[in-house]
Chain A
Amino acid sequence: AQRVTQPEKLLSVFKGAPVELKCNYSYSGSPELFWYVQYSRQRLQLLLRHISRESIKGFTADLNKGETSFHLKKPFAQEEDSAMYYCALETGANNLFFGTGTRLTVIP
């Protein structure tokens, strides 16, 4: 069975500090991983996906199959990064299985 673990429910960092949101997964197939973000009073939206290898809003995430991780990183946090972040695993034909989420607060 698949599993997505986000160990931190809450994470606070100061503005300008580096931020890392952890995600570990367990899946027997070939994983496709995503980070979704939900800003206050806004809908859930895709932040990035591992196959695109993009940097969105300064965030990057590298899939590490050896450590079964897909941690989200940003070198300098901004106040507007405060949001709920979900790591998600695609288990087949676009079926998303979400982790429990991490609420990031960036302190001014």
Chain B
Amino acid sequence: DTEVTQTPKHLVMGMTNKKSLKCEQHMGHRAMYWYKQKAKKPPELMFVYSYEKLSINESVPSRFSPECPNSSLLNLHLHALQPEDSALYLCASSLGQDQGEQYFGPGTRLTVT
């Protein structure tokens, strides 16, 4: 398996909802990433996990809560989001945090109403 998968593909949620985005890879990669991509903008790094530990948080608001339950899974828990949080959320993985190219998933398109 040489892909990064993300579920769901699309998500619509209200500002008071709690939802989670899921990312999975079975390539034995030990670094995983969350990016946010607004329309017609480049991806922006949110979080980096290395060996299941959070190593980078790019000053992301606490309404986004990442979790790495094991080396293959990465979740992004969402709570009390704002409409401006609507975006494509991309997951990526790499062999290690300082080695190997990043492989991207297809993304989850999130709409906050």
* Residue of B whose beta carbon sits closest to that of A38: B104
Contacts of A93 in B (CB 8 A): 48, 55, 97-98
In the complex, per-residue mask of A78-108: 1 if CB is within 8 Å of any chain B CB, else 0: 0000000010000001111111110000000
In the complex, per-residue mask of A7-47: 1 if CB is within 8 Å of any chain B CB, else 0: 00000000000000000000000000010000000011110
Given contacts A43-B104, A43-B105, A43-B106, contact A94 B42 (CB under 8 A): no
CB <8 Å contact, B104 and A94: no
Question: Would you call the interface of chain B mostly helix, strand, loop, or mixed?
Answer: strand
Min CB distance A42 to B, Å, is: 8
Q: Is B74 an interface residue (CB 8 A)?
A: no
Give CA–CA (A62, B4) in the complex, Å.
29
A interface, CB within 8 angstroms of B: 34, 43-46, 49, 86, 93-101
B interface, CB within 8 angstroms of A: 4, 31, 41-45, 48, 55-56, 90, 94, 96-107
